[in-house]
Homo-oligomer: A and B are copies of this chain.
């Protein structure tokens, strides 16, 4: 079996498409943002990525139909002048070993390079370890020009953050991208790191859509964020009353949202 298998669904001619990556990770910020973008832009299936570097797992949907874990590439053509053709990468997992991370990222970059991609935006969460009311969007990039361009969009470049660098796909797509001549930016939404964070995803996506010049309705993401807020509030209240035995929302509930 091939280590990484890319099964092509469609073969569109794209013009200088920009790749947007958002896979599961801290606060699921990257995945929430990429999936929301895909849904709002009605991006179409481009290719599926299967790999032995994912867990040996299938999901079962509500109708009892299985599908094997994968990453999914979708695309959306520019709708008006100023927009770019887009390729969006989302999925169930990042590679589950260091080797797998490298192999998957390399293979997807190689595929996207073949479609003309010269630019990538990777989306991620940045764990602050405490609740963040107004998440800022931190950045890292492959060149000084891009750093400056991002600053103009309100992206924060901090001397100290992220101190240990970026671990996982969002960093690797930039680091390995260079070997394909692909330049890029990582946008990291601040988040507590304790649960999935649609509000942080919204912050990231607001910056990204401004950069890409595409219009997106954020109301659905906003209501997800409010749902999380409500549950977090209830947990907070419940923890103030430890003696009561009534059924209360568990912390785990947060994991299922988004």
Q: Name the residue of chain B whose CB is nearest to the CB of A140.
A: B60
Q: Name the residue of chain B whose CB is nearest to the CB of A157.
A: B64
Which chain B residues border A98 with CB–CB below 8 Å? 52-56, 96
Determine if A62 and B159 form an interchain contact, defined as CB atoms under 8 angstroms apart.
yes
Determine if B62 and A165 form an interchain contact, defined as CB atoms under 8 angstroms apart.
no
Which chain B residues border A204 with CB–CB below 8 Å? none
A60 in contact with B165 given A102-B52, A174-B66 (CB within 8 Å): yes
**Contact surface of A with B, Cβ cutoff 8 Å:** 1, 5, 7, 50-60, 62-69, 95-96, 98-99, 101-103, 105-107, 139-144, 147, 150, 157, 159, 162, 165-169, 171-172, 174-176, 178-179, 186
Determine if A68 and B99 form an interchain contact, defined as CB atoms under 8 angstroms apart.
no
Which chain B residues border A96 with CB–CB below 8 Å? 98
Which chain B residues border A55 with CB–CB below 8 Å? 98, 167
A122 to B: closest C-beta gap in Å: 10
Which chain B residues border A166 with CB–CB below 8 Å? 57-58, 60, 66
A1 in contact with B175 given A98-B52, A142-B65, A143-B65 (CB within 8 Å): no
A111 to B: closest C-beta gap in Å: 13
A248 to B: closest C-beta gap in Å: 21
Determine if A56 and B103 form an interchain contact, defined as CB atoms under 8 angstroms apart.
no
Determine if B172 and A58 form an interchain contact, defined as CB atoms under 8 angstroms apart.
yes
A56 in contact with B172 given A63-B157, A65-B141 (CB within 8 Å): yes
Docked pose: A142 CA to B53 CA in angstroms: 22
Determine if A56 and B102 form an interchain contact, defined as CB atoms under 8 angstroms apart.
yes
A147 in contact with B64 given A1-B103, A96-B98 (CB within 8 Å): yes
Determine if A52 and B167 form an interchain contact, defined as CB atoms under 8 angstroms apart.
no
A190 to B: closest C-beta gap in Å: 15
Q: A1-B176, A56-B171, A68-B178 are in contact. List 8 more A-B contacts (CB 8 A).
A: A7-B179, A52-B102, A53-B98, A64-B150, A65-B141, A65-B147, A66-B174, A66-B175
